[in-house]
């Protein structure tokens, strides 16, 4: 929700951190390895950032793992990414659950296999009552898809398309909007991530490739956030 947000200097810990995990392919190429090796190395960074976010008291961590446009990649890469996704869920969910983390998935999951969808639902159900960090995995996600599905749902139900209803129909309705967006990998673009929800998010672009994004890199991003003054279109308090 972007309405009624108080004008604040950012409190020291962002409630919601969203991450565009980019640069796996280049990381691998630099090492003369196939792109898939970069995706494997990226999983280690996922583990690290989940641990750090939980430790620092972040409420929601959203990780952009696979965009709708990523379906356009070569079939072998898409297959590997799906395999890796399944394997990682298999390996990690128990530990996440033990650590009190609640897992949620957002995106258009129609293209996923029944097995994978079932696995995702199982992880959500298992961790539904946990009260630690909420880990949101955006897979098959697109910001335009999210806005469209929300608008179409409201239209189908004959409800007015106003800001409140639209926010509440987005796949992210239950979470606060991101306070901090981190994109690794050196590109300064949103790549169809949360288009509505990022309206007043602080945007942090890091040149570090995702597999190299370590605890220090995350600490740097968090420290940068503390220095932002969030005005939401208003004038500074002292003015
Ligand atoms: C991000 O890394 C992972 C996904 C999009 C799934 P990339 O695979 O985009 O890596 P680069 O940007 O080609 O280096
Ligand atoms: C954005 O990375 C999507 C994810 C990290 C999941 P891409 O590599 O797909 O973005 P572009 O193609 O460089 O914009
Ligand atoms: Mg990329």
Ion ligand 3, residue ranges at CB < 5 A? 22
SS3 category, 16: strand
Q: Does the active-site annotation cover 90?
A: no
Please give the angle made by the CA atoms of 212, 218 and 219, to the nearest 5 degrees. Answer: 130
Element counts in the chain: helices (H) and strands (E): 7, 6
Q: Which DSSP category does 165 fall into? A: H
pLDDT tens over the chain, length 239 residues: 444 544 455 579 999 999 999 999 999 999 999 999 999 999 999 999 999 999 999 999 999 999 999 999 999 999 999 999 999 999 999 999 999 999 999 999 999 999 999 999 999 999 999 999 999 999 999 999 999 999 999 999 999 999 999 999 999 999 999 999 999 999 999 999 999 999 999 999 999 999 999 999 999 999 999 999 999 999 987 66
Tell me the three state secondary structure of residue 144.
Answer: helix
Nearest partner of 13 among 155, 239, 236, 218, judged by Cα: 218
Sketch the domain layout of the chain as residue ranges.
Answer: 16-226
Q: Ligand 1: residues within 6 Å at CB?
A: 21-26, 66, 70, 81, 185
Contact indicator for 24, 36 with CB cutoff of 8 Å: no
Q: Is 212 a catalytic residue?
A: no
Ligand 2 binding pocket, CB closer than 6 Å: 20-22, 64-67, 69-70, 187, 189, 191
Q: What is the Å distance from ligand 1's center to 21 Cα?
A: 7
State the distance from the centre of ligand 1 to the C-alpha of 64, rounded, in angstroms: 11
CATH code for the structural domain at 16-226: 3.40.1180.10
Strand, coil or helix: 235: coil
**Whole-angstrom Cα distance, residue 45 to residue 49?**
6
Which ligand 2 atom is the nearest neighbour of the CA of 25?
8
Residue nearest to atom 8 of ligand 2 (CA): 22
């Amino acid at each position: 929700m972007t309405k009624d947000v108080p004008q604040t200097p950012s409190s020291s810990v962002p409630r919601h951190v969203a991450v565009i995990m980019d640069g796996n392919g280049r990381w691998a190429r630099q090492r003369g390895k196939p792109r898939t090796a970069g995706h494997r190395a990226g999983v280690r960074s996922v583990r690290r950032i989940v641990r750090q976010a939980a430790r620092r008291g972040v409420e929601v961590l959203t990780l952009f793992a696979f965009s709708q446009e990523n379906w356009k990649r070569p079939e072998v890469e898409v297959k590997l990414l799906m395999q890796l996704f399944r394997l990682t869920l298999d390996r990690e969910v128990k530990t996440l659950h033990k650590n009190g983390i609640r897992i949620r998935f957002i995106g258009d999951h129609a293209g996923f296999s029944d097995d994978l969808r079932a696995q995702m639902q199982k992880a959500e159900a298992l961790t539904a009552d946990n009260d630690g960090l909420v880990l949101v995995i955006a897979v098959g996600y697109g910001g335009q898809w999210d806005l469209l599905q929300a608008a179409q749902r409201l239209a189908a139900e004959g409800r007015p398309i106003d800001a409140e209803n639209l926010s509440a129909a987005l796949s992210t309705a239950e979470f606060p909007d991101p306070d901090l967006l981190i994109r690794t990998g050196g590109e300064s673009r949103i790549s169809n991530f949360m288009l509505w929800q990022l309206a007043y998010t602080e945007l942090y672009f890091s040149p570090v490739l995702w597999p190299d994004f370590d605890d220090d890199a995350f600490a740097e991003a968090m420290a940068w956030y503390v220095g932002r003054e969030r005005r939401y279109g208003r004038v500074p308090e002292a003015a």
